[in-house]
């Protein structure tokens, strides 16, 4: 039986060419916002639906910032809905599987273990930051957005983005040093 290919309409083809390359960035951002994988999946799905519906209104070339703004707005809508229902989600627990980690670039098991430990340490330290600091730090350092793009995503002035980023980096560094000193003092 020969399969029939359904031709893509112009909007869908443009959407797939311009927006889908940023799907991983949207998912990573959703993971930082939602914490739970399944919640992040739902958030990205909703954001992609909204993005497709509003795609014709997209002007300019900053598609990634536009998509991440939609993810952020979907998250804000979800939080508002949860507050209205007086629903308080339970805190996340580390399931210990380590499936959040970045794949190692070498097949060496020792390297994979080190990479997993470093990713867990980074995630743990990031989770101790205030949400506003964690958000700008993640958008800058993980997603590599410019200050202007971060300002567009977060709807903050660039100066605020810069100061939050500086505070976030200082807090992360301080927590890392505290943890490092704690480990060193425990070894003695």
Per-residue pLDDT of the chain (188 residues; tens, 9 = 90+): 455 554 567 888 889 999 999 999 999 999 888 878 888 899 999 999 999 999 888 887 789 999 999 999 998 888 877 766 654 455 555 544 444 444 444 456 776 777 777 778 878 888 888 889 988 988 998 888 899 999 999 999 999 999 999 999 999 888 888 887 776 555 44
Unique residue bearing structure tokens 């989770």: 127
Give the architecture (CATH level 2) of 104-188.
Orthogonal Bundle (1.10)
Domain ranges of the chain: 9-88, 104-188
Query: Using only C-alpha atoms, what is the Rg of the chain?
Result: 19
- CATH number for the domain running over 9-88: 1.10.1740.10
Confidence at residue 127, expressed as pLDDT on a 0 to 100 scale: 84
- Both tokens of 37, joined, read 């994988």
d(CA 141, CA 34): 18
9-88 and 104-188 share one CATH topology?
no
pTM: 0.58
d(CA 182, CA 188): 10
């Amino acid at each position: 039986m020969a399969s029939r290919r359904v031709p893509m309409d112009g909007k869908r083809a443009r959407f797939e060419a311009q927006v889908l390359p940023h799907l991983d960035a949207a998912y990573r951002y959703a993971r930082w916002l939602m914490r739970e994988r399944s919640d992040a999946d739902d958030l990205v799905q909703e954001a992609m639906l909204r993005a497709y519906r509003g795609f014709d209104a997209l002007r300019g070339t900053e598609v990634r910032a536009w998509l991440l703004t939609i993810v952020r707005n979907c998250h804000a809508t979800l939080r508002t809905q949860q507050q209205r229902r007086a629903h308080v989600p339970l805190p996340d627990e580390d399931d210990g599987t380590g499936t959040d980690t970045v794949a190692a670039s070498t097949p060496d098991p020792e390297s994979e273990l080190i990479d997993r430990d470093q990713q867990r340490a980074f995630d743990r330290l990031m989770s101790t930051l205030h949400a506003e600091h964690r958000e700008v730090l993640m958008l800058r350092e993980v997603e590599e957005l410019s200050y202007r793009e971060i300002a567009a995503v977060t709807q903050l002035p660039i100066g605020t983005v810069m100061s939050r980023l500086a505070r976030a980096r200082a807090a992360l560094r301080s927590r890392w040093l505290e943890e490092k000193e704690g480990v060193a003092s425990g070894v003695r």
